[in-house]
């Protein structure tokens, strides 16, 4: 295993371990996250994550760089655009909780002056969500939007999961809650 894949393996292991053991409280956390209107939620998320414009602060808080199964850190999908570089807090992944103020991932876009915080990403493993909310539960929601579904066998090497990107720090012409941003480019 090379150095660049170690964070992915650690995060995948956290998903697997936490997914089976930390589903309690997910319904309550999800309900709290969706209680306020979408615009109020955006303002609350901005206030809670403003500190992470400094990547060093994100790292100190436990966010680690994510790389895909091919060792790629800057996630792109030409011609749709890119997401950027994800920093994931492994201790928060794997449960059924949706935490407005505590996203599982911070997404940074590459710029000539370095990485800039652009989006938040919320991630919920499908297995954990179904265990907490029932096998036929609708997908998680936040900001008035349903999460996207990513099946197992994905580029991250993770089990099936739901996710939602919130481009609260950098405009996305495709929509604030769209996965790919055509204004983000990976070098």
In sequence order, the 6+-apart residues with CB closer than 8 A to the CB of 28 are: none
Is the pLDDT at 34 greater than 60? The verdict is no
The model's pLDDT over 16-30, given as tens digits with 9 standing for 90+, comes to: 333 333 333 333 334
Kindly write down the DSSP assignment for every residue of 43-57, as one continuous string: HHHHHHHGGGGSHHH
Task: Give 92's contacts (C-beta < 8 A, 6+ positions apart).
Answer: 99, 102, 104
**2 vs 85: which has the higher pLDDT:** 85
State how far the Cα of 159 lies from the Cα of 100, in Å rounded to an integer: 23
| Mean pLDDT score of the chain | 85
Angle between helices 6-21 and 126-133 (to 10 degrees): 10
Instruction: Tell me the average pLDDT across 118-137.
Output: 97
- Give 2 or 67, the one with higher predicted confidence: 67
For residue 73, give every residue at least 6 positions away whose Cβ sits within 8 Å of its Cβ, in sequence order, or none. 4, 65, 66, 67, 85, 86
Tokens of 89: 């807090």
- Mean pLDDT, range 91-113, rounded to an integer: 95
Q: Which residue, 149, 4, 12, is CA-closest to 85?
A: 4
Residue 109 pairs in a beta bridge with 116
134-174 residue pLDDT tens: 999 999 999 999 999 999 999 999 999 999 999 999 999 99
Q: SS3 for 150?
A: strand
- Identify whether the C-beta of residue 161 lies closer than 8 Å to the C-beta of residue 150: yes
Does residue 9 surpass a pLDDT of 70? no
Residue 119: per-residue pLDDT: 98
Cis peptide before 153 (omega within 30 of 0): no
SS3 at position 153: coil
Give the number of other CB atoms < 10 A from CB of residue 49.
21
What share of the chain has pLDDT > 70, as a percent? 81
Strands 105-111 and 74-77, by their bridges, are unpaired
User: Are the beta carbons of 162 and 141 closer than 8 angstroms?
Assistant: no
Q: Which 3 state secondary structure label does DSSP give 112?
A: coil
What pLDDT is recorded for position 18?
36
Q: Where are the domains of the chain?
A: 3-22+37-166
Model confidence band, residue 109 (pLDDT cutoffs 50, 70, 90): very high
60-72 confidence digits (pLDDT tens): 999 999 999 999 9
């Amino acid at each position: 295993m090379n150095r660049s894949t170690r964070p992915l393996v650690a995060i995948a292991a956290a998903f697997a371990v936490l997914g089976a053991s930390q589903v309690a409280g997910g319904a309550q956390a999800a309900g709290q996250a969706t209680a306020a209107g979408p615009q109020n939620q955006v303002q609350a998320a901005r206030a809670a994550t403003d500190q992470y414009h400094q990547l060093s602060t994100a790292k100190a808080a436990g966010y680690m760089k994510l790389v895909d199964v091919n060792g790629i850190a800057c996630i792109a999908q030409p011609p749709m655009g890119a997401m950027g570089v994800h920093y994931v807090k492994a201790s928060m992944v794997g449960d059924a909780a949706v935490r407005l103020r505590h996203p599982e991932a911070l997404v940074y876009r590459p710029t000539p002056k370095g990485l800039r915080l652009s989006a938040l990403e919320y991630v919920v493993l499908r297995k954990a969500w179904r265990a907490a909310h029932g096998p036929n539960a609708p997908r998680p929601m936040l900001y008035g939007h349903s999460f996207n579904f990513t099946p197992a066998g994905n580029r991250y090497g993770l089990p099936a999961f739901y996710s939602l990107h919130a481009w609260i720090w950098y405009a996305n012409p495709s929509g604030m809650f769209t996965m790919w941003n055509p204004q983000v480019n990976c070098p």
